[in-house]
Every structure is written in C-alpha cells, then in structure tokens.
Homo-oligomer: A and B are copies of this chain.
Amino acid sequence: MKERNSYQHSRKLLCDLLRGFYDKGWVAGTGGGICTVVKKNEVLMAPTGVHKECVLPQDLFVVDDQTSRVLRSPQNPSLRLTECNTIFCLLIREKDAGAVMHSHALSAVLAGDLGSRADCVVFESLEMLKGLRDCSNFDKHSVPVIENTAYEPELVSQIEKAIRQPDFDSSYCILVRDHGAYIWGSDLWETKRHAEVYHFLFEATTARSKRQLA
C-alpha cells in the first residue's frame, strides 16, 4: 500500500477534525461521520459504529466516488463502511464537494424543527453567513430540510431532488429532520469552516425563534 505523504496528511487531518467535532458534541454516541477526496475518484471515509473521537488514520476506507465501491479497506476486519457512503459520493459528484461531514448535533435537529411546516429553513441577518463560500451577510440563505428515513441510503432520492432545486444552489448543507445535517466544502478545511458556520446559524436561529415564541 504505497500512499503518498499527502494521503497520510489527509488521514491524520480527517481524524483530528473528527475529534474536534466530538468535543463540540456533533458526533456523539458513535453518530455522524466525515470523508474527504484525496485524489480523482478516491475518497477517504471514517468507519461507522465506532466512537468517532477514537478513529485512527489507519481505520479509514478508500472509496471510489463514481461507483461508491470500496477500493481499500482498513486492516482491522471489524471496521465497517459508513452507511453515508452513497450520500457522501453523491455530494462529491453532484456538488463538487471535496469533503463532507455528517453532524448529529442537537442544534441541527432543533434547526430542522424550525422548518416544520416547510421543506426549508432560511438563515438571515447574521454576519456569520459570510463564512459560507460566496455568501453575503445580507443574503437570505435557504437550506433544504428533508424527512428522515429508516436507513441512511434511503435519503439519497430526497437529497438528489433537493440539490437540483435552484433555491438551494448556493447551500452547502442539507438538514435531515430529527437527525442532523450533511455539510460540505471544497476540502476538509472549508468543510470545517462551513460546519462551524452552519452550527452557529442553527443555534442563533433557534435562540431567536424561542424569543419570538416567548
């Protein structure tokens, strides 16, 4: 297995960011996940069903994003590929994502609740919007909210539909009701930035919504 240095760097960075996400409460209870493109048609993916803060560089799968097939498995035979695999590959192919993170944050669930009578949540009047690529702080930024399903692969058709809607062209996030969010960027670092921005938007909008209800 001759991998270049950049591979090793990506493997380590992916694990470091995942640990950071755990510390923020976004991937508790073995939930959530992350992947990054390392070269054409090769995607590193964290395994499923493991404590995300404990994932090591050698625990990652290499997947072909065109076929969603595993190219290389980690040596540890107990590790299983994430159920997010097909969703991750879809976002890489269709949205040109260089990395995707999947959040199980409570703030994502509560933000999804805000769209209870619609299929989207609109974030506005927040400087933090500028932290999203090509987004202005005066934009009304729409994020789709899709319905949860019993199995993650069943989310694919809703995601395909959502990302084709022009309203969501400039969104780097899909909220899944009762579940969490998929957030992506051009690489791991932009994905981290987008993740921090979106979780801020979730919290801010939920806090303002509560004030209006009170």
| Given A31-B131, A211-B113, A214-B213; A137-B196 close (CB under 8 Å) | no
Check B29 against A106 for contact (C-beta < 8 Å): no
User: How many copies of this chain does the complex contain?
Assistant: 4
What's the nearest-Cβ distance from chain B to residue A146, in Å? 12
Rounded to whole angstroms, the CA-CA distance of A109 and B124 in the bound complex is 13
Q: Is A43 an interface residue (CB 8 A)?
A: no
Q: Is A11 an interface residue (CB 8 A)?
A: no
Report, as a range, how many residues of chain A touch the other chain: 35 or more
Q: Is A127 an interface residue (CB 8 A)?
A: yes
Rounded to whole angstroms, the CA-CA distance of A29 and B110 in the bound complex is 20
User: What residues on B are CB-neighbors of A125 within 8 Å?
Assistant: 148, 178
Q: Is A141 an interface residue (CB 8 A)?
A: no
Q: Is A208 an interface residue (CB 8 A)?
A: yes
A106 interface neighbour in B109, B150, B200, Cβ under 8 Å = B200
**Residues of chain A whose beta carbon lies under 8 Å from any beta carbon of chain B:** 28-31, 51, 104, 106, 109-110, 113, 125-128, 130-131, 136-138, 148, 150, 176, 178-180, 189, 192-194, 196-197, 199-200, 203-204, 207-208, 210-211, 213-214
